Structure 1
Amino acid sequence: MRVEIWSDIACPWCYVGKARFERALADFPHRDRVEVVHRSFELDPGRAKDDVQPVLTMLTKKYGMSEAQAQAGEENLAAQAAAEGLAYRTRGRDHGSTFDMHRLLHLAEEHGRQGELLQILYTANFAEERSVYADDERLVELAVAAGLDAADARRVLADPDAYADAVRADEREAAQLGATGVPFFVLDRRYGVSGAQPAEVFAQALAQAWDEQEKTQAGAHT
């Protein structure tokens, strides 16, 4: 069974949702037969690479909230993250384009290191002090930490067309599937789960999709 997850590194609910899904998957009896594929989705497509600003500034401008409201939202997210054992910095984080990170994730997929790189990028963005935006050498370091070759990562970052089509294809597919936000989980192209749902919801969806697949396969052999 295949599970496709559309997400963005700048999305805190994707960070939390990934942990909740993985908790459900760890308890799923057929987990060894589940393939997880991460798909690209940009919350801020078309944003210039050098357009980096504080998260709180972005939130107040994008949603028309006060800085106090934005900070309260960050504190709530930190609590949700902590419940999943995740670190989350509520102050001093940046927001910017994630396009280059998605391109690197497609490189990582070819080398079987996509899951590792995605988690490293999430942790760097949400838990570490040094920004992940508009800093190619920072991204190279993170790619190497995920097991990729530094020269390969630099080559991708130096060529804005490298894996660009793959990122755009993922985003078009998300639109075709009706995803207007992330995280968006698609199980075996049968069921969709939107948002950072509780682990119990993911567990139920996994079981349901698996049972449906078993019925389909049984019917094909009768």
Structure 2
Amino acid sequence: MSVTVDIWTDVNCPFCYLGKRRFEAALEQFPQRDDVRVVHRSFELDPTLPHDASGPVTEHIAQKYGISVDQARANEQGIAAQAAEVGLPYQTEGRDFGSSFDMHRLLHHALAVGRQDALLDALYAANFADDTALFGDTDRLVEVAVGAGLDESEVRRVLDDPDAYADAVRRDEQQAAAMGANGVPFFVFAGKYAVSGAQPTETFARALQLAWGEQIVPLGTESADACGADGCAVPAASDD
């Protein structure tokens, strides 16, 4: 017996970064973990961004939510604190954002050659733990992919062909829409149990147990942190 966990994410999404670590903590403790297959699916937070779009994250957050840059920086500090709780580095200054479509295409290529999880980890690290620009720079993306164990010539072949894996990305996004997923991270266990948002590790552990035992009960809460088409939830400002 085996269980497949499909996870819709976007490299732009900080809660996808946190959610992956919390899920992995649950998977590590799961007795049947060797029989769990994890597949990362594509979800673009903003599919309208131009291919070469890039810009500072803090200014983008401030503009998107109509808040000050200082408030945006405070929001980044709050996410960094959550990341630290699960042992993840988080760079609050100097990061950028942009179109993730080519990254999703590469993740499908990486799935075909058995390096998908390694590539996703490398992309998260490049985006959230490094202040070197990631988006809109093909050479930087190639560098990250090669560092994750992919062949450079194959990576460049995929990136040079805009049609390579493009249909696979769109199918993932259409599937997410059909299931009513309007934000990420979005986890589907055994094709039937959905967990939305960067839930606590205990929720993922329960989902794994239920998927293995084929029982149906509601999972998680609607209030968990997530990113959607309108962006990532901004924590309420403290009065302190």
Aligned match of 1:19 in 17, 21, 28? 21
- Once superposed, which parts of structure 1, at least 4 consecutive aligned residues long, lie more than 2 Å away? none
Partner of 1:103: 105
Partner of 1:50: 52
Partner of 1:210: 212
Partner of 2:223: none
Letter of the 2:99 partner, please give it: S
Letter of the 1:174 partner, please give it: A
Tell me, yes or no, if structure 1 residue 143 matches structure 2 residue 141: no
TM alignment of 1:181-200, pairs within 5 A: 181-200=183-202
Cα RMSD, aligned residues only: 0.9
Deviates more, 1:177-186 or 1:61-70: 61-70
Deviates more, 1:102-111 or 1:204-213: 204-213
Task: Return the offset for 1:171.
Answer: 0.4
Distance in 1 (CA, whole Å) between partners of 2:209 and 2:74 is: 36
1:152 partner SS: helix
TM alignment of 1:67-216, pairs within 5 A: 67-212=69-214
Distance in 1 (CA, whole Å) between partners of 2:190 and 2:162 is: 32
TM-score (norm 2): 0.87
Q: Percent identity?
A: 60
Distance in 2 (CA, whole Å) between partners of 1:128 and 1:88 is: 8
Deviates more, 1:5-14 or 1:202-211: 202-211
Structure 1: gaps (5+ residues) = 214-222
Task: Return the offset for 1:129.
Answer: 2.0
1:108 partner SS: helix
Q: Deviations over 1:48-98 (max 9, x none)?
A: 022211101111121222222211110011011111111101111101111
The structure where helix makes up a greater share of residues is: 1
1:154 partner SS: helix
Structure 2: gaps (5+ residues) = 216-240
Corresponding residue pairs, total? 213
